[in-house]
């Protein structure tokens, strides 16, 4: 913000979204405008509303900051042409971003984003900056909506709140100063659950940390869970589309593990049917569980928009990614940290034991999985040639294991003979390679990681 993310550039991008809607005859349905808890979120949203109204497009605005999945749900609730959301999700506080959500309430596909990008540069509608929002509201061109109650009602069709309340679970919620603060704890309390909240005030600086629910950022939550003798700690990121889970022991349950646990719960307790969707960087523990249940697994490139595509086309039990995105059949095709956490609470209540205990039992049944991601420095100009070389002339063995198969739907992924694997993906923003490794133990993960570092060094 203040560098490239400015009011002027916001108007240019929102004008491009308006031009896209007008060119596709979708504008008459109106559009939702929302924002997260970041600095100047309200002002950016107001500027977007002015541009859209100046283009003759009705705007539906929320009265306060809100989770991205709630704004996406509002799109389907009010049947609008989509939403413009101001959020940088889990990124540092000095950043912001514009997210366009189409009419189906999920991430925009590449075709849509390219169509919008092609219209950047269209002159901003005349008089956009001088639109009077109060007058627009009285004239019906702006409507203030609050989808909270409808969203909570929808969640009650997906979550067994009665089981959570009757179990007597003590839960600590950590919205990390972000937009989940009026949602996760509130819906639990409304359904009779015991909840304590930490970091529950709005803070655009996120307490001096990152609003990302990783193990390192959730130390305060882990400490409070242990101090209070609670059964569970549940966190959401800056815009509450990602989740973080702490067991009663203070152990961080990784997103890979949560996706696997919830697959077991949805199949064994809920009798869900359909397919399982995961990204190429997500754990193969999901695959082994799906094989046990006779379910088909679909592997996608990294990014929830690819999971969304499958959710829109066919019955899906669960779609998940290692970075903390998750949704289930019957919900919007958008990752939702509030829903994910509620399902974790339901599983903890129904199964009556620590998540780590359940996880250990699952791994004893289908085999263990230890996952790790590392970043390796690598020049931007050499990334493409590295991936081409690895695909054209791949190593036959890695860390003493034969290469069983190679996929290149996103980066290059090597699956080894013992079902361990590693993925090399170039960062799109930094001179780095993202390397994901999974094996049956920490020692084997380290062996593969060292071997991959050597392969990259040789190239």
Asked if the structure places residue 49 within a domain, the reply is yes
What pLDDT was estimated at residue 76? 97
383 and 326 share one domain: no
**Which residue, of 104, 127, 146, is where some domain finishes?**
146
Residues in the chain: 459
CA distance linking residue 318 with residue 209, whole number of Å? 31
Give mean pLDDT, residues 94-101.
96
134 and 202 share one domain: no
Which band of pLDDT confidence, cut at 50, 70 and 90, is reported for residue 157?
A: very high
pLDDT in tens, 39-50: 999 999 999 999
Asked if the structure places residue 441 within a domain, the reply is yes
110 and 173 share one domain: no
What pLDDT was estimated at residue 202? 97
Give mean pLDDT, residues 425-441.
91
Contacts of range 451-457, beta carbons closer than 8 Å, 24 or more positions apart: 451/398, 451/399, 452/398, 452/422, 452/424, 453/376, 455/390, 455/395, 455/398, 456/376, 456/378, 456/386, 456/424
330 and 204 share one domain: yes
Report the share of the chain in percent with pLDDT over 90.
Answer: 93
**Which residue, of 117, 146, 175, is where some domain finishes?**
146
Total number of domains constituting the chain: 3
**Which residue, of 366, 401, 431, is where some domain finishes?**
366
pLDDT in tens, 367-398: 999 999 999 988 888 888 999 999 988 899 99
pLDDT in tens, 186-203: 999 999 999 999 999 999
CA distance linking residue 132 with residue 222, whole number of Å? 47
Asked if the structure places residue 175 within a domain, the reply is yes
**Residue at token pair 């009077």:** 132
338 and 199 share one domain: yes
pLDDT in tens, 256-269: 999 999 999 999 99
**Residue at token pair 């361990």:** 420
pLDDT in tens, 171-180: 999 999 999 9
CA distance linking residue 92 with residue 99, whole number of Å? 17
Which band of pLDDT confidence, cut at 50, 70 and 90, is reported for residue 26?
A: confident
Asked if the structure places residue 2 within a domain, the reply is no
CATH number of the domain enclosing 92: 3.40.120.10
Which residues form the domain of 441? Answer: 370-458
Estimate to the nearest angstrom the gap between the alpha carbon of 402 and the chain centroid.
Answer: 34
119 and 72 share one domain: yes
438 and 307 share one domain: no
Within 8 A by CB and 6+ apart from 291, the residues are none
Report the share of the chain in percent with pLDDT over 70.
Answer: 100
343 and 419 share one domain: no
Asked if the structure places residue 1 within a domain, the reply is no
412 and 323 share one domain: no
What pLDDT was estimated at residue 87? 97
124 and 190 share one domain: no
What pLDDT was estimated at residue 428? 77
128 and 173 share one domain: no
Asked if the structure places residue 417 within a domain, the reply is yes
- Computed over every residue of the chain, the mean pLDDT equals 96
CA distance linking residue 246 with residue 348, whole number of Å? 12
Residue 277 CB-density burial (10 A; 0-12 exposed, 13-18 middle, 19+ buried): buried
Give mean pLDDT, residues 231-250.
97
The answer, yes or no, to whether residue 459 has pLDDT greater than 80, is no
The answer, yes or no, to whether residue 126 has pLDDT greater than 80, is yes
175 and 312 share one domain: yes
């Amino acid at each position: 913000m203040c560098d490239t993310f400015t009011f002027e550039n916001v108007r240019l991008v929102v004008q491009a979204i308006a031009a896209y809607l007008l060119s596709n005859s979708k504008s008459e349905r109106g559009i939702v405008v929302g924002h997260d808890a970041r600095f100047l979120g309200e002002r950016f949203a107001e500027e977007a509303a002015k541009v859209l109204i100046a283009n003759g497009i009705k705007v539906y605005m929320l009265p306060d900051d809100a989770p991205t999945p709630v704004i996406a749900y509002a799109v389907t609730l009010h049947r609008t042409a989509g939403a413009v959301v101001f959020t940088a999700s889990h990124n540092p506080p000095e950043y912001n971003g514009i997210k366009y959500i189409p009419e189906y309430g999920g991430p925009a596909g590449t075709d849509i984003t390219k169509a919008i990008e092609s219209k950047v540069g269209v002159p901003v509608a005349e008089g956009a900056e001088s639109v009077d929002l109060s007058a627009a509201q009285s004239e019906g061109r702006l409507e203030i909506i609050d989808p909270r109650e409808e969203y909570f009602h929808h969640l009650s069709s997906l979550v067994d709140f009665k089981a959570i309340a009757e179990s007597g679970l003590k839960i600590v919620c950590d919205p990390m100063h972000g937009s989940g603060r009026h949602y996760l704890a509130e819906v639990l309390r409304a359904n009779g659950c015991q909840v304590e909240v930490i970091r529950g005030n709005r803070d655009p600086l996120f307490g001096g940390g990152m609003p990302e629910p990783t193990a390192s950022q959730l130390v305060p939550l882990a400490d409070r869970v242990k101090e209070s003798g609670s059964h569970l700690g549940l966190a959401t990121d800056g815009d509450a589309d990602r989740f973080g889970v702490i067991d009663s022991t203070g152990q961080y349950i990784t997103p890979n593990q949560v996706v696997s646990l919830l697959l077991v719960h949805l199949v064994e307790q809920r009798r869900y049917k359909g397919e399982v969707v995961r990204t190429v960087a997500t754990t193969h523990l999901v695959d082994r569980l799906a094989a046990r249940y006779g379910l088909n697994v679909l592997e996608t490139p990294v990014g929830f928009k690819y999971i969304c595509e499958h959710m829109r086309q066919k019955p899906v039990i669960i779609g998940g990614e290692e970075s903390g995105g998750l949704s289930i059949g019957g919900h919007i095709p958008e990752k939702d940290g509030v829903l994910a956490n509620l399902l974790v609470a339901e599983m903890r209540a129904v199964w009556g034991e620590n998540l780590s205990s359940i996880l250990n039992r699952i791994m004893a049944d289908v085999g263990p999985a230890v996952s790790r991601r590392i970043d390796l420095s690598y020049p931007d100009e050499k990334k493409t040639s590295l991936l081409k070389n690895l695909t054209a002339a791949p190593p036959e063995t890695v860390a003493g294991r034969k290469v069983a198969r190679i996929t290149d739907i996103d980066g290059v992924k090597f699956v080894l003979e013992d079902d361990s694997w590693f993925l090399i993906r170039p960062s799109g923003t930094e001179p780095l390679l993202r390397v994901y490794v999974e094996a049956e133990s920490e020692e084997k993960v380290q062996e593969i990681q060292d071997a991959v570092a050597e392969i990259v060094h040789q190239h």
